[in-house]
Amino acid sequence: MDLGNGFTVFAGGAFENADSGDNQLLNAYVTYETGAWLFAAELKLEEDESTTTLQRSGSH
């Protein structure tokens, strides 16, 4: 989704409700573009029946 002024946002998810267990994956990122510069941040959350992980990344 283009928010104007160089900002773009994306959010996505995948869900599975199987008899053997629940799995989830959510991710979102935002970018800001100005001239030749592009800045991005991403947030990813994974969860299954045995583990939960959260990963963040900064500017690229």
Number of domains forming the structure of the chain: 1
Amino acid (1-letter code) at residue 36? A
The reply to whether 26 falls in a domain is yes
Residue scoring higher pLDDT (14 or 55): 14
Q: What range defines the domain where residue 41 resides?
A: 2-53
- Compute and round to an integer the Cα radius of gyration of the chain: 15
Give a yes or no: residue 18 inside a domain.
yes
Q: 51-54 — which CB contacts under 8 Å span 24+ positions?
A: none
Cα–Cα separations (whole angstroms), residue 26 to 2, 37, 42, 54: 20, 27, 11, 10
Q: In the block, which residue shows the tokens 């100005």? A: 34
State the average pLDDT for the chain.
Answer: 76
What's the predicted TM-score (pTM) here?
Answer: 0.55
Q: Is 58 contained in some domain?
A: no
Say if 8 falls within a structural domain.
yes
Whether 34 is covered by a domain: the verdict is: yes
Nearest to 14 by CA among 60, 46, 42, 56: 46
Please tell me the predicted confidence (pLDDT) of residue 18.
63
